[in-house]
Structure 1
């Protein structure tokens, strides 16, 4: 798998896959494709905002919104940002995060923020993996103000279990977008990590930031003045296919929550961080 994956044109392949997923073919074909896709991945159609036959393509269905109120917002400082599986949760010590057992990566390299260790070293991180079954919009886990966004172009390696255990610095070489939210406990980072077939990351509050587009891929750092007010449950953006979100929390969060979170393997967006590990 490694040799094949290394030589594939992952960015171009991902763009082609995106075009295919959003192809609006004959209505009978679109309906059949969406229904087959939902059956294949055991997607609960009753949770979708619209009936499956109202979507124009598999891609349109993939980034479907949910019915209003179906994911109530939990209490507490933070909630989960996505329907997903939690693959890692630990303290940020030594300026590193855990990619997989025995494999770490640099906080500074991951964020491309020279102030990253000042903000998040000594805090906590949580890694959420979204598979095709999941709802693919990402919501704010906290109340606060969006101050910065960093777009970091890169590769589009898969982010499955094989990749996280075999590709060094996977999360620092893949394309990603970091949203920084200032909160009462300090800065919170929401990192969208792209992957093969998932390079197209879109932000709901800033349409100028989009992943894996044609043309030059240049690092961008945007500061918002005034800041953009957000709140728990507010939509931040979406993936066009399954991928990963990494949450970065400051030391004050760790002091408040360490040992007090119920981190089951599968969580739902807006669910509270409650219980005990």
Structure 2
């Protein structure tokens, strides 16, 4: 009964107004009042301040400064290895697995369209057809900076306006198409493992979504889709980020969705619905081309060809994988309004 009331309120409450109010309050410097709010929040949600670079709650001038607090050095070691991808955020796995028939699993029998998630961009959706996805939910107590799962060169950023439903597990299980209807920032990267998308999903009282290259992407909330394009690897102004490097942050709670192309990665077997995640820990392992070729050759075993009683088996040469990495800093093209 209580859960049903909570879901109905999601539809009835003025989510945009509440979010603006929360964002305004979270940026205010109110001295002792700010300290009381931060202290109460940390106690209620059991925030582990021992991991923070500055564990003193009184040192944060605003609630937002506390909420996006950096961690101390060494708090989140990043998994090593060229074939290993790291988890992009602290939180818990909501869902992960295959993108089947252009759909992603949300929760409790709900699926949503890959094309809808990508704001109707069917050409971009085609790149991830039959690929893999992972959805990670960041609870209020979590560290709220988002990092790169692998080295990547930014190619495109798309801001998509939308609803601001909560993205907690209860809402995910009861609001259809939740992630395809909420506000979001879609970031497309070129990586060694093919194209990779990292999506920062907005939610109720998420005051803003920021990226390290563009700063605050939302607000303002103008109700139009915006698109930015960036130079390719090796070009002047290319934006290259390394595995484990920060790429964005939420000022109050939310969700990160990763998309990978087909045949590029396998998620770590220990990850499943509800698994607690820590940024930098093992996320997935690359499927190298040489491994794919060997697997394909091993699948079909035929009798050898006999010529004058000499048996000659067939052979396959492995193909190496790789990608040139690139430079740094500023976007080369202004946003397009769609």
Show structure 1 runs of 4+ deviating over 3 A: none
Instruction: Note the 1:33-52 alignment, pairs <5 A.
Output: 33-50=37-54, 51-52=56-57
Bigger shift: residues 233-242 or 33-42: 33-42
TM-score by length of 2: 0.76
Deviation, 1:234, is: 1.0
**Which residue of the partner structure matches residue 314 of structure 2?**
none
CA distance in 2, matches of 1:253, 1:197: 36
CA distance in 1, matches of 2:192, 2:101: 24
Bigger shift: residues 220-229 or 167-176: 220-229
Deviation, 1:122, is: 1.5
Does residue 94 (structure 1) correspond to residue 104 (structure 2)? The answer is: no
Deviation, 1:181, is: 1.0
CA contact (8 A) 1:49 1:66 kept: yes
Does residue 234 (structure 1) correspond to residue 245 (structure 2)? The answer is: yes
**Which residue of the partner structure matches residue 36 of structure 2?**
32
203, 222, 232: which is aligned to 1:195? 203
12, 17, 27: which is aligned to 2:17? 12
Deviation, 1:101, is: 2.5
Structure 2 regions of 5+ residues with no counterpart? 232-236, 286-338
CA contact (8 A) 2:149 2:283 kept: no
CA distance in 2, matches of 1:41, 1:33: 12
Deviation, 1:47, is: 1.1
161, 166, 175: which is aligned to 1:167? 175
User: Which structure has the larger Rg over C-alpha atoms?
Assistant: 2
Instruction: Give the match's secondary structure for 2:122.
Output: coil
**Which residue of the partner structure matches residue 309 of structure 2?**
none
239, 244, 247: which is aligned to 2:258? 247
Measured on the aligned residues, the alpha-carbon RMSD in Å equals 1.7
